[in-house]
Amino acid sequence: MKKITCSFLSLIIVVILMASCSSSNVISYENSFYKLTLNKKTGSLITIEKKGKNLINTPGSEGPLFTIRFRDASQKGEIHEFNAQQAQDCKTIVKDELITLIYSQFKNVDLKVMVTVSMAKDSPFMHWNLSVDNNTPYTIDHIDFPNLVVTNDLIATGGTGRIFWPAQEGCLIEDVKIRDENGMKFRPIEYPQMGWGGLYPSSVQMQFMAYYNATGGLYLAAHDEQCNPKGIEFHGTDNNGIKMDFRLFAGGAGKGMYKMPYDMVMGVFDGDWYDAAAIYRNWRETSAMPVPPKIKDNKMLPDWYFESPVVITYPVRGHKDMGDMTPNELYPYTNALKIIGKYNKDFNSKIMALLMHWEGSAPWAPPYVWPPYGGEKNYLEFVKGLHEKGNLAGLYCSGIGYTLRSNTDTTYNMYKEYNEKHLEKVMKVAPDGTLATNGVCAGPNAQRLGYDMCPANSFVKEVVLDQISKIASSKTDYIQYFDQNLGGGCYPCYSTTHGHAYGPGLWQNEAMHNIFKGFQPVIEGAGYKLLVGCEAAASEANLSYLLYNDARATINLFTGTPVPAYAFVNHEYVNNFMGNQNGVSAAIDLKKSPMNFLQRLAYAFCAGDMLTVILRGNGDMIWDWGTLWETETPNQDQVKQLVRNLNVWRTGAGKDFLVEGRMLKPLPFEGVTNVPMITKPGGRNINFPSVFTSNWQYGSDRKAQFFVNYLPQEQEIIISTAGLKNVKVFKSASDTQGELAGDKELSLKITPLSTIMITYSK
């Protein structure tokens, strides 16, 4: 009787709540953190208010709450798309702290969609989910959900707004027009879009975005511990809006019930991108998402990882990605040993020589790379010469593409193998069933003709294992085998014969992990601790396998301001290196941004990354990989001094923090000026402070903040020490004691091209 009574009362509550909604066209929920308002007829967002102020752009957010794209594999991937506002019936059920929206009666299709929004009175977050009852003959390609648009009140418009985007380790957007003026314009994350952009887990390594202004912040994230493939993007809309765009790839789910395997989490917060990253990190650390052991506990890491070598990268053939590939002054390999020795002294550091264009096949011509150009003998002498001086050898490769013919060395082609082994069967397939022609760095104007291989095929695993095994026999210390597989990920395949789902899905991660696991015995049996890495920081889906990677924060200069969000979330597990800086000279006006190389070094140091410089044939450091060697070089003495003065902290007094530490939000300070980089071609400012900083914790209570003056003149900053205890100033990396500071305010003079560390407790 009691159960019947409770059920009856619950029904009455639901009816009352439904009736209260029917008296208006909105559904509202409010707690002490936010007020949510939805359109009752469509479910679209109307407002998310914090402190009485709306954080979203209502005209934009009132578009369809979801859009679902289906494909018909039997009709060459024909697209069928439906959205929330096309449903002729939308039922709304409000019960306690759960809103349920049921959409049905889509024209000419048997389809139902249910959206749930779960709230809690004591939480600033709400959890959104979507399920599809699919009685169509089509498979689900992707789901755009939820539709969230914020107002373009960004800094460049005179407003206070900023958007955090998790691409390329983290990017802060203050001006959407920067992206619109160059070759990195927004493109929807769908076939054939590949490469740099909003693909996760790839060039996007994490699953959260944020918008914040003077009123407060809005957090939007996929709390997906399985790391399903997604598009995570932003782009301008009508009505002065910016869409925060999440797209789930459903793994080719077909007829029947499909439920999103995770919640989209939306909520409000105070602060900036650091605070949003802390929300995401807190979730990640309590989730079941796999992570490697922390650096201090990871037995797979070599000793040199803790000695912070400076990476020096250069080609041995040609000058840049394309063009003449005649061997340059740094070939044969041993020609570079004297130059490396000189930089040992200049930087007071170990060096990792990371070679490009060394492949015996052709430059950037995967998957075959071994033996080295010119044969093994001189390369092995080179590796031996490096090791004798305590230095290290590294090699760039090009991932799991397949080269039919090189465009940089047309004498190299693999048509015979391709035809004899019928390798078209292992190449990626487009939605229409033809071979996908959007391979990375492939095409008539790119480095090669060819395709991308689908990693679900055993041939791919066998080739990778073979090549890594051969390189390991040379005692090479680091293999960036998965260059061009950004973040260690792969790109979609729509084959119906490879044994995986039709279209993007979780199978992609599983296939890549199978490849990574395949060469683990080689690493374990190599007789030394070999590391394998990828281009861009490893996405969280692949982090357990790729422990040293080529960071690509500078790609964000095509879009906004790089910020070290990846390091904030992951630095206790992985140290990356600064990377070959490809693209800087295309994104930034070097003459109008004379401090940009020094800024990038300071940024990388503060992100906890190992430093990198790029050489031309005579041994001079150049701006980036891709700069013409004839271009006037950066000030060599200033670069050497800054690298030396930064790297010594990674091996001295700052080592615990910069190598193994957990990043914290920095303590505020005053005294900096703006030193912008100027974009090409738009001439817009990307703003940077004249002093870079980062704050770290090591162990339970040791904290340290670093302040980098990358300018060639002294700077003075002021830090409030109110609320801090045991504040000490370290002006030298060899100082083990520090100087005790005052109680309320600390004034620090930072000499040119140098760093100061303060330690403190709370």
Three-state secondary-structure class, residue 25: coil
pLDDT band for position 508 (50/70/90)? very high
Helix (H) or strand (E) holding 8: helix 2-22
Q: What would the pLDDT profile of 148-177 be if each residue is shown by its tens digit? A: 999 999 999 999 999 999 999 999 999 999
Q: Where are the domains of the chain?
A: 2-286, 295-661, 664-761
Q: Give the lowest-confidence range in 601-610, 721-730, 734-743.
A: 734-743
Best CA proximity match to 446, nearest among 363, 369, 373, 371: 363
pLDDT at position 753 is 98
Pick the more confident residue, 63 or 23: 63
HSE of 668, CA atoms in CB hemisphere, 13 A: 6
Contact 478, 548 (CB under 8 A): yes
pLDDT band for position 10 (50/70/90)? very low
Q: Which CATH superfamily is domain 664-761 in?
A: Golgi alpha-mannosidase II (2.60.40.1180)
Distance CA 302, CA 147 (A): 46
C-alpha distance from residue 420 to each of 370, 414, 423, 425 (Å): 21, 10, 8, 12
CATH number for the region 2-286 comes to 2.70.98.90
pLDDT at position 20 is 35
- Residue 6 predicted with pLDDT over 70: no
Q: What would the pLDDT profile of 480-494 be if each residue is shown by its tens digit? A: 999 999 999 999 999
Phi and psi for 296 in degrees, rounded to 5? Answer: -65, -20
Distance CA 588, CA 633 (A): 15
The arithmetic mean of pLDDT across residues 348-368, rounded, is 98
pLDDT at position 90 is 96
pLDDT at position 363 is 97
pLDDT at position 193 is 87
Q: What would the pLDDT profile of 192-246 be if each residue is shown by its tens digit? A: 988 899 999 999 999 999 999 999 999 999 999 999 999 999 999 988 999 999 9
Q: Is 295-661's fold the same as 664-761's? A: no
The arithmetic mean of pLDDT across residues 261-267, rounded, is 98
Q: Tell me if the bond preceding 293 is cis, omega within 30° of 0.
A: no
**Mean pLDDT of all residues belonging to the chain:** 95
3-state helix, strand and coil shares in percent for the chain, rounded to the nearest 5: 25, 30, 45
pLDDT band for position 183 (50/70/90)? confident
Q: Quick one: CATH architecture of 295-661?
A: Alpha-Beta Barrel (3.20)
Q: What would the pLDDT profile of 534-582 be if each residue is shown by its tens digit? A: 999 999 999 999 999 999 999 999 999 999 999 999 999 999 999 999 9
Residue that is written with structure tokens 């992609």 in the block: 508
Q: What would the pLDDT profile of 585-640 be if each residue is shown by its tens digit? A: 999 999 999 999 999 999 999 999 999 999 999 999 999 999 999 999 999 999 99
pLDDT band for position 661 (50/70/90)? very high
pLDDT at position 568 is 98
pLDDT at position 18 is 40
- Residue 745 predicted with pLDDT over 70: yes
pLDDT at position 13 is 40
pTM for the predicted model, two decimal places:
0.95
CA angle (183, 185, 190) in 5-degree steps? 115
